[in-house]
Structure 1
Amino acid sequence: MPNQPPQNYSGQNLTQPVMVNGAVVTNPQIAIPREPYLLERYYFDKLIKGDSHFLTLANTILGAVIGLFINMLAKLIGSKIDDKIKFENWEVYAFLIALGLMIICYAIHYFVPNERRRIIKTINEHFENS
């Protein structure tokens, strides 16, 4: 092929190989305006599965708190309708204790640093500074 002037292929749907300077380009380099963040597999795994144990525990206790609240409310309404149904104080205490434990677990998760939040902070800093 004789020397041809460069052609513009932007905005086209290419269905066959394109020759660049007489050769097919098989692995072109992509240029981006900033340095990419190279994410290691370990960090990726921590981002996907890195929730703290306190958050998992708090979410589990949240389910118990919701269940205890529904049970307490149902028993309160039932005791107003039927005198045979007793509304007992331990149900309120169980709800309040579970609520307190849940709040403590969420607070520990929020204030204690963990690997996942550290990685996210590092990635954010990378993109803010570049």
Structure 2
Amino acid sequence: MVGFQLPLDYKEIVYTYGRGSFAEFIHVFQPGSSLPAVDIKVAPSGILETLRFVETQGFPMPVVLDSLFPVGVSDNGNYVFWRMDPLDSPDEWEIVVNEPRGDRWEFFEGNLTSLLVAVFSGARKVSMFPRDLLAEQVAFHAY
């Protein structure tokens, strides 16, 4: 599908929830989406191309870009990445979130499911996410 093995938790999220957003804020990229902006086969190349361009303009990246692969996006433009290290062990990959139009990056030691649970339970604050993210009941919204 994307040229490498996908983490088991990602496959479970896609199978369980399908296309949509968590709390109308985080969209997990899906295979075969009718929306190119959230299609895991389409969206990542443009995102990575933009980051490579930004890096050539003198803005250092906190990790080697070849180790990152976008797996989701927030309504604010934050990208959620897998840090694919080691490449052959996808269930060990950590999650990285970046700030749109800024230089902040946050690292989360855990998989995508762990990040979603931590953020939407209030156990983990991502400084770039809105402070009132949990003001309303968290739900999954299919589209």
Return the TM-score normalized by structure 1. 0.22
Between structures 1 and 2, the one with greater helix share: 1
Rg larger for: 1
Between structures 1 and 2, the one with greater strand share: 2
Return the TM-score normalized by structure 2. 0.21
